[in-house]
Structure 1
Amino acid sequence: MIIAAVFIAYLILMLIIGAAEYRKSRGLLDYYLAGKGLGVTLVSFSFFATYFSTSAFLGGGGFGFVAGFQWSAFLTFFHILFAILAWLLVAPKLKQLAEETSSLTIPEIFGSRFGKEVQMLSSAVIIVFFSFYMVSIYKGAGNLLQVMLDIPYTQGLIITALIVMLYTSIGGFRAVVYTDLIQGLLTFAGGIVLFASIIYFLGGFEAIEKLAETQIFAGKGELLFEVGKLAPPPIMKAGMVIPFILSLTFAISIAQLSSPQLVIRFVAAKNEDVLKKGALLTPLIIGVFAICVFSIGPLGWLIIPQFDDPVKYLKDSDLVVPVIAMKVLPEGINALLLTAIIAAAMSTVNSLLHMMATSLTKDILNRENIALTRAMVFALALVPLYIALKPPEIIVGIVGVSFSVITSVFLVPLLAMLYAKPSRYSIFASMIVALVASVVWYFVYYRVYWIYPVVPGLIASALTYTIFEKFFK
């Protein structure tokens, strides 16, 4: 009862914010980029909340139950590293370029430099692969509400989608960033509270020593502390644990450098001083959150066996974190924590929907129409919602593939655009080759070598760019 009440109150608050920001919107610039007037707290927490969704809380937190602390360590390291690089290398120059070209979307920035074809390709990649990414977030929210409110998975999906569609379409980017602030604070606090509560439940950090002697699916718990020993059984059998773990954690984390829904926050910042302060604040909150949340999964072997058969969670590790939260926290606190995880989902979905809707309306349809953009928010939310009814993989798998393609397509062209003077042919060719290489690798070679598509995708992109710059410029 308490959980339902807290959750309903949260949903009402999000709708109120959406309505309030609708009243404050004063035209296209406000709806697309909140008037380019965001301060450091809004930009940093919007970046954080958009990046960390249920894929972090449930996927990132839960997968350590299968892969151990090697997963936690590599994922945390890469998150902090690429957060720092994003704010130092990409933020200031992208902000400057957006001002020079008067662009409102990431594809429009590319289009202003390299032509309509590049702009259209960028938009198409955003719409298709963000839709795929949204499947993972819907799945996480559906799983969580299934556990949290004891409702069917499908109902959880619909509740999540409907609320986000309403406040995103009504309030635009202003509603997105202001709800992101609240959702980001909830997500950040929720991660710390859950980790601290688990340690308290286990009797302190000394309990971790017991983990080494605990029986897990592959033998003794000491395997949880070793590199290259644990992963899903097919990967262990193939002897590809380290390439799998490194490529997946790399794929998820490097997305901070070039994912359009993240870097557009730099464009919406008030000035360069905001970006300088954000370069300190954002990696700090990302680092603290990552250390707490990504360490939860392995500790599940000390908790879940007390209440349930742990083997069944190996097939769907996305359920590990919500089950732990329900068991170790008192009802009032777990209500806030589980609402925080839902907030993490909604804060990412709203940004993806807004990015997809603005890309479709402005970059592909070439219309500057707020009413049409609002309609696109609803339309674009439905396809991933339908796919999420029977999702193809667990969360970390879906996120890894989506981020692999997005990063492979955008990273090299973005850095080249900011730090060189590339030709349109080099940019277009590198995007096409990266897209094809990533998709082909996933469907043909991934289950042979267990290396995520971001690695061959980026290699293909960089090689293509270099060749075209040398011979076809």
Structure 2
Amino acid sequence: MIWDVIVLGFYFLFVFYFGFRFAKNTEKEEDFYLAKKEIHWVFLMISLVATETSSLTFLSIPSLSYKGDFRFLEIAIGYIIGRTIVALYLLPSYFSGNTISVYEYVGNRFGKTPQKTLSFVFTISRLLGDGIRLYVSSLPIAFLLERMGFPISAEILGMLALLILSVVTIIYSVFGGFRAIVFTDVLQWIIYLLGGIFALVLIQINLGGFAITNQIQHLETLGKWKVFIFDYNLTGDNSYFILFAILGGAFISVGSHGTDLMLVQRVIATKNLLSGQKILIGSGIVVFFQFLLFLCIGSLLYLFYEGKMVPAEKVFSHFIINEVPSPMLGILVAAILASAMSTLSSTINSLSLTWARDWEMDKWFSPRTLSLFFGVLLFFASLIPYFLVETWEKGILEMGLTIFSYTLGPSIAVFFLAKGRKDLPISGSIFSLFFLLSIFITIFVGIGFKLSFTLLIPIGFGSLFGLVTLTGMIKKN
């Protein structure tokens, strides 16, 4: 156990080194938030993948194939389609001006009120969604502390793990800025990927004499290799019906990589449009194979625990804590930390950016002060799942996706309207009200009709588009 702690200690030292290595010359906004657009597109692509690849991917994706099959790859296919749409349609507009925040583009088209409204919704959804991600990443650390014999409850251990994660991430995010975050993301992605590959090999070894050919045949007999779902269920959940899954994945990707400041920030931080397009489309392909890796882990875990009562949502955490020997346990926990900290640091930086530029807080506060504030706020947001997860019916991954799905549809509509229309038939204030109303419509329809998260984004998109179009038709008449 002591070797696991030493491994984690070395990991934190590496993170601190990168944070302080790039801490110089980050006082100006252009450097603190975009690193003067000097970073090569390959590093930005890896940073983008690391940012969106949170601890939810590491710990929760295996649970999907453990309790089901490979149908989540349908959504990954939609991700690639969605990123291609953003790269070819929306991205050229972002490179046409000299904006740092993507919401400034909306502000230039429709006024300050819609710009601030988008920023506010982004802030709330990021705090809630990434709070869940941070919470999930704390679970194996809490298990590790529990195994070390700390005489306190699991809840307190979890909160202590969250505090450790938050403090370390806040320090290098505040001092190093965007440049440090990107290169730390690259380091963390490598650790994370090697951790996943190691876990896959270790499970295979622990299966003993169960040959790979026999494993494949057994999983095929159980229907575990199914990817495409063609059967529409008239009464049940159709989240992974092939049309809904691919369409939902495409909408999610258009919303996240076309309108979410945290992810778009990595794309517009490159030097030109072509590099930005490479980042977007390349990241979609990398993410697809990441999902494939962790779905394979889940299917092998099903064979390893077959016949045993292990909760699907905690199966990978359970395996890591109980089956991985020291000091490799420390390496895998470091991989979980890497996936969490890359997302957390990016969220801190992007929240600081949007309030500096979209709310003009840079008149009163420095980028580092704003980053410190939002780092602390994210820590408190990560405590919320302690009160929700016990009563949430769906898995924690779907929970995180659902939170963003309520807001992404209307957000996509805003950017498509900004791209496609010269003017609006309504004022910026009314447009902002329509935007918020479409979010409430999405929440009401989604909860009322118990719709899958893959359908929420098209509903939100259509509701805002419909409200604006209908208002325009009424005005003409």
TM-score (norm 2): 0.83
Q: 1:2 to 1:122 in 2, by over 3 A?
A: same
How far did 1:348 drift?
0.8
**Residue among 439, 443, 454 paired with 2:457:** 454
1:340 aligns with 2:338: no
Could you tell me which residue of structure 2 aligns to residue 56 of structure 1?
Answer: 57
1:367 aligns with 2:368: no
Q: What is the rounded CA distance, in whole Å, between the counterparts of 2:85 and 2:204 in structure 1?
A: 32
User: Which piece of structure 1 moves more, 366-375 or 114-123?
Assistant: 366-375
**Residue among 188, 204, 216 paired with 1:208:** 216
Q: What is the rounded CA distance, in whole Å, between the counterparts of 1:251 and 1:156 in structure 2?
A: 34
Q: What is the rounded CA distance, in whole Å, between the counterparts of 2:371 and 2:418 in structure 1?
A: 30
Could you tell me which residue of structure 2 aligns to residue 233 of structure 1?
Answer: none
Q: Is the 8 A contact 1:61 1:294 kept in 2?
A: yes
Q: 1:355 to 1:80 in 2, by over 3 A?
A: same
**Matched AA of 1:76:** A
Q: Secondary structure at the match of 1:23?
A: coil
Q: Is the 8 A contact 1:183 1:347 kept in 2?
A: yes
Q: What is the rounded CA distance, in whole Å, between the counterparts of 2:125 and 2:474 in structure 1?
A: 31
Q: 1:112 to 1:227 in 2, by over 3 A?
A: closer
**Matched AA of 1:383:** F
Q: What is the rounded CA distance, in whole Å, between the counterparts of 2:252 and 2:445 in structure 1?
A: 17
**Residue among 120, 124, 143 paired with 2:120:** 124
User: Which piece of structure 1 moves more, 250-259 or 378-387?
Assistant: 250-259
Task: State percent identity of aligned pairs.
Answer: 19
Could you tell me which residue of structure 2 aligns to residue 218 of structure 1?
Answer: none
Could you tell me which residue of structure 2 aligns to residue 191 of structure 1?
Answer: 196
How far did 1:278 drift?
2.7
**Matched AA of 1:85:** I
Q: 1:400 to 1:283 in 2, by over 3 A?
A: closer
How far did 1:420 drift?
4.3
Q: 1:450 to 1:354 in 2, by over 3 A?
A: closer
1:464 aligns with 2:461: no
How far did 1:270 drift?
1.9
Q: Secondary structure at the match of 1:24?
A: coil
1:90 aligns with 2:57: no
Q: Deviations over 1:11-53 (max 9, x none)?
A: 2222222222222314121112222222112210111111110
Q: What is the rounded CA distance, in whole Å, between the counterparts of 1:75 and 1:212 in structure 2?
A: 21
**Matched AA of 1:29:** E
Give structure 2 stretches of 5+ with no counterpart: 148-156
Q: Number of residue pairs matched?
A: 450
Q: What is the rounded CA distance, in whole Å, between the counterparts of 2:223 and 2:118 in structure 1?
A: 46
How far did 1:79 drift?
3.0
1:40 aligns with 2:41: yes
**Matched AA of 2:177:** G
**Residue among 107, 110, 127 paired with 2:106:** 110
Q: Secondary structure at the match of 1:22?
A: coil
**Matched AA of 1:439:** I
How far did 1:237 drift?
11
User: Which piece of structure 1 moves more, 177-186 or 427-436?
Assistant: 427-436
1:25-36 maps to which residues of 2 (within 5 A)? Answer: 25-36=26-37
Could you tell me which residue of structure 1 aligns to residue 296 of structure 2?
Answer: 295
Q: What is the rounded CA distance, in whole Å, between the counterparts of 1:284 and 1:465 in structure 2?
A: 35
Q: Deviations over 1:133-174 (max 9, x none)?
A: 022112211112123454622222111122112221222222
**Residue among 387, 406, 418 paired with 1:390:** 387
Q: 1:386 to 1:287 in 2, by over 3 A?
A: closer
Q: Is the 8 A contact 2:141 2:161 kept in 1?
A: yes
How far did 1:472 drift?
5.0
Q: Deviations over 1:209-267 (max 9, x none)?
A: 22356xxxxxxx3377486699xxxxx99522456894575675553343221112122
1:1-400 maps to which residues of 2 (within 5 A)? Answer: 1-71=2-72, 73-96=73-96, 100=97, 102-150=98-146, 152-199=157-204, 201-202=206-207, 203-211=211-219, 221-222=222-223, 225=226, 238-242=235-239, 246=244, 253-254=253-254, 255-279=256-280, 281-305=282-306, 308-310=308-310, 313-314=311-312, 317=313, 319-326=314-321, 329-364=324-359, 366-368=361-363, 369-370=365-366, 371-392=368-389, 393=392, 394-400=395-401
Give structure 1 stretches of 5+ with no counterpart: 214-220, 231-235
Q: 1:309 to 1:354 in 2, by over 3 A?
A: same
Q: Deviations over 1:119-143 (max 9, x none)?
A: 1101110111111102211221111
Q: What is the rounded CA distance, in whole Å, between the counterparts of 2:90 and 2:199 in structure 1?
A: 33
Could you tell me which residue of structure 1 aligns to residue 153 of structure 2?
Answer: none
**Matched AA of 1:290:** F
How far did 1:451 drift?
6.5
